[in-house]
Structure 1
Amino acid sequence: MSWQGALIRWYLRRRFLPATREPIDVARVRARTAKRVWSPRPPIDFRLHEQYAAADAPLRGEWLLRVAGAARTILYLHGGGYYFCSPKSHRTITFGLAPRAQADVFSLDYRLAPEHPFPAAHDDALAAYRQLLAEGRRAGSIVIAGDSAGGGLALATLVALRDAGDPLPAGALLYSPWTDLACTGASLRENDGHDPMFSADVFARVAPLYLGATRATHPWASPVYADLRGLPPLFMLAGSTEVLLDDTLRVAERARAAGVRVECEIGQGLPHVWPIYAPFAPEARRALDDSARFVRRVTATADEEGPQSSETSIAS
């Protein structure tokens, strides 16, 4: 592990982990996150276009657009336990992915719990993907991505799209996905005390905020329980000491058993959603490099078909 990675682990254990043992205060968590957001500048040859008005739904959020047009698109679903964070809090990931993959990135500002419990976020993700198709972006040129709760949401979106018979995207990036809101993974016990970021019990306290009256094993809320047959290729990563490690490992195992192509990287000692620490940590930069190679590979035919958009066509 790099010294940057070690420093991040130390900081998380000292500042973030204790807060996960406290009672959940939604307003306070959101306020803290908003204050701590650091926004990198849009990468060279890309333009940021924010569209956060209610009327912008189903594509409410923000575009990072390649000025010359892009042949591929990433639909990004941010993490935050379904109740906090936003596209702005995850720009280190989206701004890192876009130039590496030479892709337009749309980061969705989906509705948050507890004001909007399941299936609100799920419905928003489905609607956003379908709107991308309606606006002419080809399914085979789209990759859906997400981290933590957003990673679980991305996988659940794939399942729902398949169930509905929609054209599926070319693949999915899942960073430390939270796929089991019933909180049954063995790593919740085995890694409790080793995870520098979370106490294991926090997930059982957060899950009801999103679930509301929905059962925790509903496959569109907890896709580890879903039938994964027929899904496109998955790129997954998680840290070896995460309490949510099994949420990745069980999905990878079940997807492979169902015939899905899966790439799964386990970072030794790395924290939850470590790509978010780009460009500071070399491990984060490498994870984004690997992610971009996956995106380009599964959307290879998009290069032959040419750009689908330009920054002027979206902003107009």
Structure 2
Amino acid sequence: MPSNSSSTYPSWTVGQVSSVLGATVKCVADADEHLIGLCLMDITRIPAEPDPTTAAAAVMAELAGLGSRSFALPADADLTPVLPESGGVPAVWVTAGGASVEEGVVLYVHGGGFEHRMPELMNLTAHRISRATARPVLVVHYRLAPAHPYPAPLDDVVAVYRSLLDQGVPAAKIVVFSESSGATLTLSALLALKESGTALPAAVVANSAITDLTLSSPSIDDNAAGDSGVDRALLTRLIGQYLGDADPGLAPQSPIHGALDGLPPLLFTVGSAEALLDDTLRYAQAASAAGTKVSVEVYEAMPHVFQVTILSEQNPTGRRVLERITEWIAGSG
């Protein structure tokens, strides 16, 4: 695993990420906790193709066009339930042609600021994942804020995961794929499941994650101008209505504040232009220092939830994201 650091980084900025990715340091036994986290973390910079300006513009165009594009599923998509139960929580199975439960299951926890979802987009995303991984994908329709604040959405994610175990799917055959607020719920679910002694999934993919609900990451302000509409005001509103009366500084609702040892392998993908960049890097640093195997991929110039480009097979960023995630899942889950 590569060593990546040039100093101690209690918090992160874009400039510091560039410094870390461009330098190495010999890790020593008496290094402080920040340096230990950096030394253990597998962090990779993914250059923009063909260049940062062109790549970022293409992604922004994809995001802007989501409301008007078609999310029609390919002919090989099958929505037949693979298993009959989902823990009393609405959920949709999406299976691409050739995918088999024998390969395992992907549990998909969608984003949407805890408050909304786009089912057709989610199903097409699930199909892309199913086709790439050769596994059926279970899409969780957890309850949404503000009508259903914490802990309802978290309880739903936990219930669906446990339903897979109860129906005979081994934990070692389950991979969780998540994005944004869905990544928050996923990382929170890991803490809740660990606390209860439940077997944890084989691996977790967390895209553009929100990990610290106190909104303490410097990049929230530093990167807001270049992100895709994500800023402190929006995050404050979304997190406030999700939490209700819950404390943003406590786990499991704010996953960075939990005990991060004993978790399954984690892959984080994040854009260097994201307001939430530091949420990924700070969590990854802490989890690595706690002994959890963490891989981080920082995509140059990319905004929040740039991973939606996996829906467009012609988009080079989307192709690369899906290829790298699929390769990581094959090696971890």
Task: Give the TM-score normalised by the residue count of structure 1.
Answer: 0.81
> Is 1:62–2:92 an aligned residue pair?
yes
Residue 76 of structure 1 contacts residue 105 of structure 1 at CA under 8 Å; is this kept in 2?
yes
Whichever residue aligns with residue 94 of structure 2, its letter is L
Residue 217 of structure 1 contacts residue 225 of structure 1 at CA under 8 Å; is this kept in 2?
yes
The 1:263–1:56 alpha-carbon spacing in structure 2 relative to 1, beyond 3 Å, is closer
Residue 188 of structure 2 contacts residue 255 of structure 2 at CA under 8 Å; is this kept in 1?
yes
Deviation at 1:48, TM superposition (A): 1.9
Partner of 1:75: 107
> Is 1:48–2:79 an aligned residue pair?
yes
Structural RMSD (CA): 2.3
Deviation at 1:37, TM superposition (A): 6.5
Distance 2:75 2:232 in 1: 37
> Is 1:264–2:296 an aligned residue pair?
yes
Matches within 5 A, 1:123-134: 123-134=155-166
Distance 1:58 1:38 in 2: 30
1:132-176: per-residue Cα shift (whole Å, max 9, x none)? 011111100001121000011111111111111001110100000
Identity of aligned residues (%): 32
Matches within 5 A, 1:288-307: 288-299=322-333
Q: Which residue of 170, 190, 195 maps to 2:222?
A: 190
Partner of 1:28: none
Q: Which residue of 170, 175, 197 maps to 1:165?
A: 197
Structure 1 residue ranges, 4+ long, deviating more than 4 angstroms after superposition: none
Q: Aligned with 2:331: secondary structure? A: helix
Q: Which residue of 59, 62, 75 maps to 1:8?
A: 59
Distance 1:282 1:76 in 2: 23
Q: Aligned with 1:100: secondary structure? A: helix
Q: Which residue of 175, 197, 217 maps to 2:249?
A: 217
Q: Aligned with 1:252: secondary structure? A: helix
The 1:113–1:261 alpha-carbon spacing in structure 2 relative to 1, beyond 3 Å, is same
Q: Which residue of 283, 288, 291 maps to 2:317?
A: 283
Deviation at 1:42, TM superposition (A): 4.0
Whichever residue aligns with residue 134 of structure 1, its letter is D
Aligned residues between the structures: 276
Partner of 2:127: 95
Q: Aligned with 1:238: secondary structure? A: strand
Larger mean CA deviation between 278-287 and 127-136 belongs to 278-287
Q: Aligned with 1:220: secondary structure? A: coil
The 1:108–1:87 alpha-carbon spacing in structure 2 relative to 1, beyond 3 Å, is farther
Distance 1:43 1:236 in 2: 31
Partner of 2:150: 118
The 1:60–1:223 alpha-carbon spacing in structure 2 relative to 1, beyond 3 Å, is same
Residue 170 of structure 1 contacts residue 233 of structure 1 at CA under 8 Å; is this kept in 2?
yes
Task: Give the TM-score normalised by the residue count of structure 2.
Answer: 0.77
Deviation at 1:233, TM superposition (A): 0.1
Larger mean CA deviation between 93-102 and 123-132 belongs to 93-102
Residue 226 of structure 2 contacts residue 303 of structure 2 at CA under 8 Å; is this kept in 1?
no
Distance 2:61 2:193 in 1: 40
Deviation at 1:110, TM superposition (A): 0.3
1:209-253: per-residue Cα shift (whole Å, max 9, x none)? 100010112212110111100000001011001101111001110
The 1:294–1:173 alpha-carbon spacing in structure 2 relative to 1, beyond 3 Å, is same
Distance 2:249 2:165 in 1: 30
